[in-house]
Amino acid sequence: MISVEKPTEEKLLKLNVRSWPVWEKEVSEFAWEYDEPETCYILEGDVIVTPDNGAPVSFGKGDLVVFSAGLKCRWKINKAVRKHYRFG
């Protein structure tokens, strides 16, 4: 499962998002599998993630995205992505 929301500043502060590590990736396409849940806050980019046997999910700058454990998917980065992330 993938959930996407536009978080409030209050929620970002409560999650302490800005203290999380940053991950960057150029325009590319690759398969990925989540061993544990991941929450990320998109700083830059345009991405489409398609779960195996599921509908594509689009997200970009300003989105808070949660990927569930066990998710198998394909990432398609249309514009270089930069995000804060936290596993678990």
Domains and CATH numbers, the chain: 2-87 (2.60.120.10)
pLDDT bracket for residue 75 (50, 70, 90): very high
Characterise 62 by phi-psi region: left (phi > 0), alpha (psi -120 to 50), beta (else).
left
- Cα–Cα distances in Å, from 22 out to 10, 16, 44, 51, 53? 20, 13, 11, 23, 29
Entry pTM: 0.96
Between CA 29 and CA 19 the distance in angstroms is 27
pLDDT tens readout for residues 3-54:
999 999 999 999 999 999 999 999 999 999 999 999 999 999 999 999 999 9
Q: What pLDDT is recorded for position 81?
A: 98
